[in-house]
Amino acid sequence: QPDDVAIGIASSGFRSNGYSLIRKVVFEIAGLKIDDRVSECNEKTVGELLLEPTQLYAQPIRSVLRHYRVKQVVHGIAHITGGGLEENLARIVPPSIQIQIERGSWEIPSVFGWLQKLGSIEQAEMDRVFNMGVGMVLVVSPHFVDSIMHQLREHGMQPWKIGYATAADDGSDRVVVS
């Protein structure tokens, strides 16, 4: 609905997406080894970066949905996987709505910048292949944003207000990242 707010929830790194590109850049192009340390990422090893456990969202999302069962203030949920924010959010947005995402409104983990620099990967490709630090998005009523973000934090999640919904003409992009 117009004026809804997009709440992004932090991811735990690459998760399961982009490993063909990662393998090519890290091992074939850069020639790194699994136990090489990456200074841009707090001296973690390549192996530690690639095997970062996946953040699970089921418990916190269920909690939010249960809390607002009657009011139904969550109007959409998108799991951000391959295809990034644009493709995954577009799947849940009706043609009459556009979600405007504000780049810079969330923290992008250093591992993405390291990989981008290492492989000279264009931003559009990074955005298409990876979640860029946002693993899940809730599109919610603006009146409940603070409460929902508080609940997510109570479950150990890092939420950010990353965008908002506006009315759109049919045929316009459903998601715009700027």
Structure tokens at 57: 């969202």
Residue 11 has pLDDT above 90, yes or no: yes
pLDDT in tens, 87-108: 999 999 999 999 999 999 999 9
Which domains are seen in the chain, by residue range?
Answer: 5-15+54-108+121-177 (3.90.650.10)
Structure tokens at 120: 């000279």
Residue 26 has pLDDT above 90, yes or no: yes
Quote the CA–CA distance of 167 and 148 in Å, as a whole number. Answer: 23
Establish how many alpha carbons lie within 13 A of residue 175's alpha carbon, considering only the half-sphere containing its beta carbon: 24
In whole numbers, what is the pLDDT of the chain averaged over residues? 94
Residue 79 has pLDDT above 80, yes or no: yes
Residue type, 160: W
Residue type, 121: I
